[in-house]
Amino acid sequence: MAMQTIRTTNGRGRIFGSILDTVGDTPVIRVNNLAPDGVEVFVKAEFFNPAASVKDRLALNIIEAAERSGALTPGQTVVEATSGNTGIGLAMVCAQKGYPLVVTMADSFSVERRRLMRMLGAKVVLTPRTQKGTGMYMKAVELAEKHGWFLARQFETPANADIHESTTAREIIGDFAGRRLDFVVTGYGTGGTVTGLSRVLRRERPETKIILTEPANAALVSSGVAQERGPDGGPAVSHPAFEPHPIQGWTPDFIPLVLQEALDHGGYDDLIPVPGPEGVAWAKKLAAREGILTGISGGATFAVAMRLAEKAAPGTAILAMLPDTGERYLSTPLFQDIPEDMDEEETALSMSTPGFRMS
């Protein structure tokens, strides 16, 4: 049998000044066992960011852009409405930089998210799930106005799409230099990823089609109904096409202003809705068959990438964005049928030897 080469590492050749210097430069990973023959499928694993999601990028840039402009002063409290990942990213950034953070979040989102934010030093103010994303958004606005806090405004700030233009898109351009890239698939929460990617890919890789996806039962963009907005660009009301869906982090009950740029300027080539259960199923397949642990949003994005792959011509290359880690979904439908105790097969394995059995 041929000798196998032992993997070795040599370090990064640098020492990082803080955790914030590790944001970005996430890897593109080939999918080997699930991809159809003749088609290349890749994922961009945003859970390699230090707080384990794509939102670390915008959290860092929102704070640093506000520092540069003077909108955020030393010691000032930051407040933001979030389904979790932006709040976790902001909590990491604020912990490092010394800003108090208050997060508003609907109580429908997974409990592990609020506990992670509190672990990182943030205060989490819950809002009723019946008031949806607009409720937590309006609560953050109220708190900022009442207390003079800095409102991060992830759904409206130019700092959101800007960081994806200057980092995420540049990484994709670099990683696929000299290689074919036919499709990039992404969902949207704020819309920053697709907006930032489209600015660069439209100019430098015009042959690459950008595929946007959203929950099938909350297909706000597909509805064609415009979002009613307040004077600052934020939502005035909940979008009429919204229904609760299991793809946490995707599609609040309004169309964010950051996404509007991509909608208005042809920032995507096709829009493919995906049911939540399909996202759950593909996230489980990615974990079990590829060893890639992502959340429901990553599974949903990958589901659309696989639909494209099944119909694609040989040689096609597809990249799916994976926004976060599956560990953020332990209390959600993603893990609801994963048992804590041994199943029959595991019990039989235990019983196959005489010692150390569970009573």
Residue 121 sits in a domain whose CATH number is: 3.40.50.1100
- Please say if the pLDDT value at position 193 is more than 60: yes
Q: What is the mean pLDDT of residues 136-152?
A: 97
- Per-residue pLDDT at 110: 83
- Per-residue pLDDT at 268: 98
Tokens standing for residue 143: 């708190």
Predicted confidence band at 329 (pLDDT cuts at 50, 70, 90)? very high
Predicted confidence band at 237 (pLDDT cuts at 50, 70, 90)? very high
> Distance between CA 224 and CA 206 in Å, rounded?
25
Q: Is 342 inside any structural domain? A: no
Predicted confidence band at 108 (pLDDT cuts at 50, 70, 90)? confident
Q: Are residues 212 and 322 in the same domain?
A: yes
Domain that holds residue 285: 19-50+158-335
- Per the structure, the count of domains in the chain is 2
- pLDDT, greater one: 3 or 118: 118
Predicted confidence band at 341 (pLDDT cuts at 50, 70, 90)? very high
- Per-residue pLDDT at 187: 98
- Please say if the pLDDT value at position 339 is more than 80: yes
Q: Are residues 26 and 172 in the same domain?
A: yes
Q: Is 140 inside any structural domain? A: yes
Q: Are residues 74 and 44 in the same domain?
A: no
- Per-residue pLDDT at 2: 62
Domain closes at, from 151, 168, 188: 151
> Distance between CA 322 and CA 295 in Å, rounded?
8
Q: Are residues 180 and 102 in the same domain?
A: no
Q: Is 301 inside any structural domain? A: yes
Rounded to 10 deg, the angle between the 55-69 and 85-97 helix axes is: 50
Q: What is the mean pLDDT of residues 223-246?
A: 95
Kindly state the percentage of the chain with pLDDT values over 70: 99
Q: Are residues 146 and 166 in the same domain?
A: no
Q: What is the mean pLDDT of residues 183-212?
A: 98
Q: What is the mean pLDDT of residues 151-176?
A: 97
Q: Tell me the per-residue pLDDT of 15-38, one tens digit each, with 9 for 90 and over.
A: 999 999 999 999 999 999 999 999
Q: Are residues 187 and 85 in the same domain?
A: no
Cβ pair 209, 272 in contact under 8 A? no
What stretch of H or E contains 355? none
- Please say if the pLDDT value at position 147 is more than 80: yes
Q: Are residues 248 and 296 in the same domain?
A: yes
Q: Are residues 299 and 331 in the same domain?
A: yes
b/e per residue, 56-77, with b = 16+ CB within 10 A? bbbbbbbbbbbeeeeebeeeeb
Q: Is 349 inside any structural domain? A: no
CA-atom Rg of the chain in angstroms: 21
Q: Are residues 113 and 132 in the same domain?
A: yes
Q: Which positions ≥6 away from 15 have C-beta within 8 Å?
A: none
Quickly tell me which residue has 């010394």 as its tokens. Answer: 98
Domain closes at, from 133, 151, 169: 151
- Per-residue pLDDT at 129: 92
Q: What is the mean pLDDT of the chain?
A: 96
Q: Is 353 inside any structural domain? A: no
Q: What residues act catalytically?
A: 55, 297
Kindly state the percentage of the chain with pLDDT values over 90: 96
- Please say if the pLDDT value at position 84 is more than 70: yes
- Per-residue pLDDT at 83: 83
- Per-residue pLDDT at 155: 94
139-145: list long-range contacts, CB under 8 Å, 24+ apart. Answer: 139/81, 139/104, 140/79, 140/80, 140/81, 140/104, 141/234, 143/79, 143/102, 143/104, 144/79
Q: What angle do CA 205, 209, 210 make, to 5 degrees?
A: 105
- Per-residue pLDDT at 50: 98
Phi, psi of 275 (to 5 degrees): -70, 145
Predicted confidence band at 3 (pLDDT cuts at 50, 70, 90)? low
- Per-residue pLDDT at 264: 97
Q: Is 325 left (phi over 0), alpha (psi -120 to 50) or beta?
A: beta
Predicted confidence band at 183 (pLDDT cuts at 50, 70, 90)? very high
- Please say if the pLDDT value at position 1 is more than 80: no
Q: Are residues 46 and 59 in the same domain?
A: no
Predicted confidence band at 109 (pLDDT cuts at 50, 70, 90)? confident
Alpha helices (H) along the chain: 55-69, 85-97, 111-119, 132-147, 158-163, 169-175, 192-204, 220-223, 257-264, 276-285, 296-311, 344-351
- Per-residue pLDDT at 102: 98
> Distance between CA 222 and CA 214 in Å, rounded?
8
> Distance between CA 191 and CA 255 in Å, rounded?
9
- Per-residue pLDDT at 4: 79
67-73: list long-range contacts, CB under 8 Å, 24+ apart. Answer: 71/150, 72/99, 72/150
Burial class for 12, CB neighbours closer than 10 Å (0-12, 13-18, 19+): exposed
- Please say if the pLDDT value at position 160 is more than 90: yes
Give the CA distances from residue 162 to residues 127, 153, 167, 271, 292, in Å, rounded to whole numbers and listed in that order.
30, 14, 9, 22, 28
Closest CA to 33 of 314, 325, 315, 309: 309
Q: Are residues 27 and 172 in the same domain?
A: yes
- Please say if the pLDDT value at position 279 is more than 80: yes
Q: Which positions ≥6 away from 301 have C-beta within 8 Å?
A: 185, 186, 187, 213, 279, 320, 321, 322, 323
Q: Rounded to two decimals, what is the model's pTM? A: 0.95
Q: Tell me the per-residue pLDDT of 48-78, one tens digit each, with 9 for 90 and over.
A: 999 999 999 999 999 999 999 999 999 999 9
Q: What is the mean pLDDT of residues 36-48?
A: 98
